[in-house]
Amino acid sequence: MKEKLDEILGRAIRELDQADQPQRLEELRVAYTGKKGELTSILRGMGSLSPEERPVIGARANEVRAKIEAKLAEAAARMKKKEEERRLAGETIDVTVPGTPCRIGSRHPLTLVRREIEDIFTSMGFSVAEGPEVEFGYYNFDALNTPANHPARDVQDTFYFSDNMLLRTQTSSVQARFMENHKPPLRMICPGAVYRSDDVDATHSPFFHQIEGLIVDRNIGLSDLKGALTQFSQMFFGPETRVRFRPHHFPFTEPSAEMDVSCFACGGAGCRLCKGEGWIEILGAGVVHPNVLRMAGIDPEIYSGYAFGIGQERLALLKYKIDDMRLLFENDTRFLHQFY
């Protein structure tokens, strides 16, 4: 019986060493140490042994059982480890594989220009205001001293919702709104979209953007206007930039002017960009008309001011050397990605 026990132990160890599936391990456990297993049947047969043999064989049988159980545990641990290694190998991440590129957006040229203009004017003490694009005729025209028969009020030029409601044609409307809520001294700029009944071409669009400026205080005059806008132009286009004022007419300013900057491409000699002129027009401006102040409840005997309106698209086209305004509105990302 002792030989039989040794034989069982040897066989069990061999088979357990070879086992490589949890299922096989379970089969072996049942076959050797289970209720109907080989060891159990040996122990059952101990009754036929002599009293001297019985404790010796019994001790040996227990020893063999303990060894087989230890071996079973060892095989189970080995399998678990192997399974873990297999899983880990499957889950390996190669951190050196190049990632999937994610497309990062860029700022629209109009946004870039607006922010730059805002930075320049806020550094001069202007605050940034906003106003509605759907506007009353009153703020767009009447409060700006624009008579009922003015050509800009024609349906040919302006989109109307009704007799007194329209899409604003100029950010100047915000001047009138701002003066209703703020008393002088005041200094504001207002960027925003405006609408005109225009056909689309390389330099026109029914939808475009302006930046309005307004300052009202004591003793403000044309020289202040000239100083601030010269400063702005040199910060935006470069320190060599010169400015030129040409007389013009706007109902809400008197005197009124259009302002040109010396061409930053040729320095004023004349080139393709400035169409040989040496100068490029960028804004309209003037000294605020006393009627405009009066309508806003500000006494023109005490206060005066200046105002201006900058074409945002114009500046974007110039700054980024874009030769067709339509590119700004087509939303072709191949174009837009060039600016930052």
268 is a contact residue toward ligand DAH (CB under 6 A): no
The window from 55-63, 112-120, 266-274, 304-312 that contacts ligand DAH (CB under 6 A) reads 304-312
191 is a contact residue toward ligand DAH (CB under 6 A): no
- In the complex, what is the shortest distance from the CB of residue 222 to ligand DAH, in angstroms, rounded to a whole number? 12
Bond prior to 239 in cis (omega within 30° of 0): no
CA dist 81 to 20, 91, 231, 288, Å? 12, 15, 75, 86
Decide if 173 contacts 138 (C-beta within 8 A). Answer: no
* Among 109, 137, 268, 284, contact with ligand DAH (rule: CB under 6 A): 284
The window from 8-16, 87-95, 177-185, 249-257 that contacts ligand DAH (CB under 6 A) reads 249-257
CA 306 to CA 51: how far, in whole Å?
Answer: 125
250 is a contact residue toward ligand DAH (CB under 6 A): yes
- Which residues on neighbouring strands pair with residue 190, listed in sequence order? 212
307 is a contact residue toward ligand DAH (CB under 6 A): yes
309 is a contact residue toward ligand DAH (CB under 6 A): yes
Encoded one letter per residue, x for contact with ligand DAH by CB under 6 A and - for no contact, window 123-162 reads ----------------------------------------
- The alpha carbon torsion through 38, 69, 7, 15 (nearest 10 deg) reads 100
E-only strand ranges, 171-321: 186-195, 207-217, 243-250, 253-262, 279-288, 304-311
236 is a contact residue toward ligand DAH (CB under 6 A): no
E-only strand ranges, the chain: 127-128, 134-136, 160-162, 165-167, 186-195, 207-217, 243-250, 253-262, 279-288, 304-311
| Contacts to ligand DAH from residues 212-231, by CB under 6 A | 212
Q: Which two tokens stand for residue 149?
A: 């028969």
286 is a contact residue toward ligand DAH (CB under 6 A): yes
192 is a contact residue toward ligand DAH (CB under 6 A): no
Which positions touch ligand DAH (CB under 6 A)?
A: 170, 172, 212, 250, 252-253, 284-286, 307-309
